[in-house]
Every structure is written in structure tokens, then in C-alpha cells.
Structure 1
Amino acid sequence: MSITLAFIAALFASLTSILAKIGIEDVNSNLATAIRTVIVLIMAFVIVLITGQLDTIPEISHKAFLFIILSGLATGLSWLFFFRALAMGDVSKVVPIDKSSVVLTILFSILVLEEQALPHIMAGGALIAVGTFVLIGKNEEKKRFSGSQFYIVHAILGAVFAALTTILAKIGMEGVDSNVATFLRTIVILLFAWAIVLFKGTFREMKLISNKGYLFLILSGMATGLSWLCYYAAIAIGKVSVVAPIDKFSVVITMILGFVILKEKAAKQTIIGGLIITIGTVLLVF
């Protein structure tokens, strides 16, 4: 069941990207994230309300609350370091480091959660990492060299916090309904996202967003919400070392939807990278 939920999460994660590509290209990324998080929070709250789990929140232990909050903060810090690294350094170096979070997640799940380091899990994770690097390839769009390699530290920290997000969520969700945990975690992310928007003053751009832009922000937020709900339900009942890499299969699904819906061209390295990730995912499933 956890594998099925992980694949559904990957599907909705890919729909998030496609919907964003179609309708919200001119919207500031931090502002778009903040608005989408509002939609995710509303969805999570409605599901918790419908399932009658709202009354269980006061019963959550202090330890579970702590790790859920830490998971939300880890997500916010991951975004912060990633975008800081992009501002300082080369895109072609920053993005591959960020994508390495899937490997870190597997390692953390073995070291922290004491999950078994099974050969097919290690091989699948390695193939997904290799496929991701092939997909990224050599980026022709380079930022000007700033004379410092410090941005690499920011990129590595972004990947570390992305991996910690899943591990902390897994610990915090022990004995807690996954929908309730997602709802509480989203509150933390919402506060973090809007703090960045308010600090940078990008909230003023809200009046410049078109009706079409708002429509696709809402649809994208709904897809994100469904993806998060399925993903955290999957890690609540399954192994992080298996669920997290399968979630990364959204890269391949996004690529296929890009070919079909957006009529993007299928580059050779894109197809090869997608096939490697698919093989890695199949290894994890079986």
C-alpha cells in the first residue's frame, strides 16, 4: 500500500509542475509557494475535519509535536539554502547537489531509522541518483562566477535539510494520523513561506497576478496537497528508504507529461536519464 501511495504522490507532484508551467510562469517563485501552501493547508484541514481526527491533536505527545515542527522547519530551511545557492553560484552545479537528497534520505533512513541496507534498495537509489544527474546534464545557462565556492555549502545544506524533512516527519508521525501530521507540518511551512514573502516584500506582487494565474496556483496547490497527503501517508506505513526514491519518480512522470501536454521535445539525454530512473524505481518496488 505504501508503494501505491508513493506512486500516487509522484503523479500529483508531477501535475504540480505541469500546472505551474502552464499558468504561473510570471509569478515570483516564493510568492507562488506561499499561495500554494495556503491551498495545501485548507485541503489538509478539510481532510482532518472529515475524518474526525481534529480532536486527536491535543492527544499528540510533546515529542511528536516537536518532530513535526522540526520537519516543517527543515522544509523551509531546505528552500532557503537552495534558492540562496542558486543566487550565488552555477545552476549546473547547484541543482545536481540538491537532487542528491534522495541518496541522503536513504542513508539517513539506514543510520537514524535503522532500516535495512538491502542490496536492491542501495542499487535502486544509486540508479535514481545517476539518472537524475543524466537528466540535468550540462546546463548552458551559467551564472557569473562570484569568486567564491561558498554557494556549494549552501547547496549541500539544502539537500541535507530536504533529506531531514522526511526523516523527522517519519519520527514525528509515530502514533499520529498521517493527515493530522501533514496538517500541522503545513502550518509551520506556511508561516515560514509567508515570513520570506513579507521580508522580501514580494507580497505586493499579488495584485499583478491574473485570474488565470490564480486559477493555476489553486490547481497547483491542490495537486501539491494531494501529493503531500499521499507521500506522508506512505512514509507513515512504509520504509522511508523505499518511499522517498519512488516519490522522485515524479521527475519521469513530469517528463512524459511535458512531452504529451506541453509538446516539449524529447532530448536524447532526457530519455536516457528517465530510463535509468525508471530501472532504479523498479528495483525499489521489487
Structure 2
Amino acid sequence: MQVITTSWQFWAFMSALAAALTAIFAKLGVKGIPPDVATFVRTIVILCFVAMMLLASGQIGEVKTLSKRAVGFLILSGLATGCSWICYFRALDIGQAAQVASIDKLSVVLVAVIAALFLSERLSFVGCLGVGLITVGAILMASGK
């Protein structure tokens, strides 16, 4: 089990699975309540969950050791996450879960473009093909009924 739990592929798949469940549970949860209220409740749950994980793992003390640069970028990441969640919940309130989730996954394409522009990351031909297929797939999923 050690090999599986230390691989990025395992954790990336688990993230995808959790994101899929997020879409389904959120779609059920936003029925009849304002999307911003749903986002607020979700955020409180996440805050408590991660705090318990830090306490249980003994990592809570690491918070004091963060550099100002790290804190700054984490704050920006948190703001971007908050904006993403608010937009996502509003989209789920209006649209179908599979369509909303497919457009949301265009974030993969945007990450590849932004990482190339600002982080000097390069995609192989196969990676570029994958980004193109994700784009086409997201558009097809979003336009299908």
C-alpha cells in the first residue's frame, strides 16, 4: 500500500473522485437555498475537516513556520477557490451537474496555458493533444442534453 499512497496518480484520482461526489452532493444540496449560503456551509465544513486533520496528524504547528511569500500565495489561492466555489454553486443551481462539471474541468486547459505562460512549464505533443481533447469533450458534454 505504501507505493500507491505515495504516488501523485493515486491522490489525483482520489481528488477527481471527491470532485465528482462534490458535484452530485452539491447539486442535491443547493435545491431550495441560495448558492452563496450553500458555499458558506461547505466552507465551514472544509475548515473544520482540515483543522481536525492537522490536529490529528500533529501538523498544526507548521502554520507558524510559513513564509510571508507562501502565506500571500495561499491567500490568493484561497480567494480564487472561494470565487470558483461561488461560481460553481451558482452554475449548479441553474444547470445540470454533468454539464456544469464538464465546463468546470476546463480548468485543466486553463492551468496548462497559464503554467506555460507564467511557470515556463511545457507540454509534450501528447499533452497538447490531451488538452485539446479535454476542451472538445467539455464542449460536447456541455452542449449535450
TM-score (norm 1): 0.46
User: Which structure is richer in relative contact order (CA contacts within 8 A, separation 6 or more)?
Assistant: 1
Please give the secondary structure, in 2, of the residue aligned with 1:218: helix
Structure 1 residue aligned with 2:139: 282
- Judged with a 3 Å threshold, the aligned counterparts in structure 2 of structure 1 residues 96 and 206 are, in CA distance, closer, same or farther, namely closer
- Judged with a 3 Å threshold, the aligned counterparts in structure 2 of structure 1 residues 209 and 222 are, in CA distance, closer, same or farther, namely same
- Judged with a 3 Å threshold, the aligned counterparts in structure 2 of structure 1 residues 88 and 198 are, in CA distance, closer, same or farther, namely farther
Structure 2 residue aligned with 1:91: 7
CA contact (8 A) 2:102 2:142 kept: no
Cα distance in 1, alignment partners of residues 13 and 84 from structure 2: 23
Could you list the runs of 5+ residues in structure 1 that have no partner in the other structure?
Answer: 1-84, 102-158
Please give the secondary structure, in 1, of the residue aligned with 2:122: coil
Matched, 1:211 2:68: yes
Structure 2 residue aligned with 1:273: 130
TM-score (norm 2): 0.88
Matched, 1:201 2:117: no
- Judged with a 3 Å threshold, the aligned counterparts in structure 2 of structure 1 residues 92 and 227 are, in CA distance, closer, same or farther, namely closer
Cα offset, 1:256, TM superposition:
0.4
Structure 2 residue aligned with 1:181: 38
Cα offset, 1:163, TM superposition:
2.2
Please give the secondary structure, in 1, of the residue aligned with 2:120: coil
Counterpart residue type for residue 33 of structure 2 = V
Structure 1 residue aligned with 2:92: 235
- Tell which deviates more after alignment, 220-229 or 88-97: 88-97
Cα distance in 2, alignment partners of residues 184 and 224 from structure 1: 15
Structure 1 residue aligned with 2:24: 167
Cα distance in 2, alignment partners of residues 251 and 236 from structure 1: 23
Size of the aligned set, in residue pairs, is 142
RMSD between aligned residues: 2.0
Deviations 1:152-205 (CA, angstroms, capped at 9, x unpaired) = xxxxxxx2x432222121112111000011101111111001100111111111
Cα offset, 1:93, TM superposition:
5.1
| Structure 1 runs, 4 residues or longer, greater than 3 Å off | 95-99
**Larger Cα-atom Rg:** 1
Could you list the runs of 5+ residues in structure 2 that have no partner in the other structure?
Answer: none
Cα distance in 2, alignment partners of residues 244 and 270 from structure 1: 21
Deviations 1:124-146 (CA, angstroms, capped at 9, x unpaired) = xxxxxxxxxxxxxxxxxxxxxxx
Counterpart residue type for residue 42 of structure 2 = R
